[in-house]
Amino acid sequence: MSKAKIAQKQPCIVNLEAGTYYWCSCGHSQKQPFCDGSHAGTDFEPLQFTVEEATTAVLCACKHTQEPPFCDGSHCKL
């Protein structure tokens, strides 16, 4: 399997409304941390996740988290 591109070495802090989102797992999206379809032709697929109510989330942008789509601090070890 291919390795994900490190989009950035810090998380994305985003305000989310209730709904369904697609987190970029490949690192190539120009709309980080969300998928824009840049994974086409790769081994990667976006990760669908749902937010039940409005919240502020800390989403991974280094693509090395063990808790996708959320940041677990893995970027500090890169």
Q: For 44-54, write each residue's pLDDT tens digit.
A: 999 999 999 99
Q: What is the pTM of this model?
A: 0.93
Domain that holds residue 63: 12-77
Whether residue 1 has pLDDT greater than 90: no
Residue 6 lies in a domain: no
The pLDDT-based confidence of 30 (bands split at 50, 70, 90) is: very high
Averaged pLDDT score across all residues of the chain: 96
Residue 23 lies in a domain: yes
Residue 20 lies in a domain: yes
User: Are the beta carbons of 26 and 73 closer than 8 angstroms?
Assistant: no
Number of domains in the chain: 1
Separation between Cα atoms, residue 39 and residue 2, nearest integer Å:
11
pLDDT of residue 2: 82
Residue 7 lies in a domain: no
Here the tokens at position 59 are: 């989403």
